[in-house]
Amino acid sequence: MELLTTPSPSSMEMAIQKKWMAYIKPFAHDIRTDDAGNVIGVLNPEADFKVLLAGHSDEIGFVITRIEEDGFLRFSKMGGISPKIAVGMKVEILGYRKTITGVIGANAEHHGGVKDKVEFEDLYMDCGARSREEIAQFVQVGDLAVYKRDPEWLMDRYITGRGLDNRTGAFIVAEVLRKLSEKQIHVGVYAASTVNEETNLGGAYFAAAGVNPTMAIACDVTFATDYPGVNQTKYGDVKLEHGPVLAKGAPINRKINGLIEQSAKALNMDIQYELTPRNTGTDADRMRYTGNGVPIALVSLPLRYMHSPVETVSIKDIEAEIDLLVHMIEHLSGNESLNPLVD
């Protein structure tokens, strides 16, 4: 919950990274940072076989593009955010001198209502300022903003809020590191809270290039399809509370998937599948193309209402993914071959 209440729009992850680093400090054998802003907690750094886990800490948001004479703020997106959802929402503007509250104006139905095809250039933020000079004391072009939305529990089983994509992944890799710190492991474990995934995947590149891992697993979210109006024939059948989602496709290393599936079987755990035929759209894609090439897998958390202020996940699925990854890594000998042509 502390991570979820900390604004971390892509390129401005410093505050959340410091909290994540403080959390892992008691159990990580080593903590590393880099010039991209990643934080990496390490166990067993002497091991030749290295497992890199990556959960990105950044969230989608907005970037201020213009300050109007009358004090209203024009803005665009920072990451894949929809203008339709933004209409009428409260925002927290992370100004260069002060964080302030604003609202995204919505034209009253009496005056014609919101356009059917709304674009970002149709929208503005109202902070209550009377002039450009007044608001410019706190906000400048290039400052970022996020939805002003605190996380909440639904029926004591689901968490809903903004930016669960992917502060949940950053939490998961931290918890895997914590649990593995209490066990005898034979491989090096590098748990990375990465940056910039929502905009350019650059954090993942820095992390993998710096670690040079034997294998890398991205821990992200994927589209749940278990709510009204979703075409499951087109988008697949992924449900909350039915376990972590394992990606299958050309970028994915089949041997890593096999190891994960063995652990799921040993734990008597349900897992689900998604197809990523060409690429994954996650940190895994950038990690794969570092060094001499890195075998990758993608384990995802089912999430409803992607890139909205009401993203929703199951705490049961979070716990299951942590247990699954802990079991798989704990049982690695460090002698495994990930070459699909080697038996």
Residues 6+ apart with CB under 8 A from 108: none
Supply angle C-alpha 170, 172, 178, rounded to 5. 105
Q: Which of 92, 197, 198, 274 is catalytic?
A: 197
Looking at residue 23, the DSSP 8-state letter turns out to be: H
Contact status, residue 191 vs residue 144, Cβ threshold 8 Å: no
Count of C-beta atoms within a 10 Å radius of residue 337: 9
- Length of the chain, please? 343
The whole-angstrom distance between residue 253's C-alpha and the CA centroid of its chain comes to 21
Count of C-beta atoms within a 10 Å radius of residue 291: 12
The whole-angstrom distance between residue 73's C-alpha and the CA centroid of its chain comes to 27
Sheet holding 152-154, edge to edge: 152-154, 158-161, 311-314
The Cα–Cα gap between 95 and 291 comes to 38
Q: Is residue 197 among the annotated active site residues? A: yes
Report helix, strand or coil for 215. Answer: strand
User: Which is it for the CA torsion 279, 254, 217, 32, positive or negative?
Assistant: negative
User: Which residues does the annotation mark as catalytic?
Assistant: 197
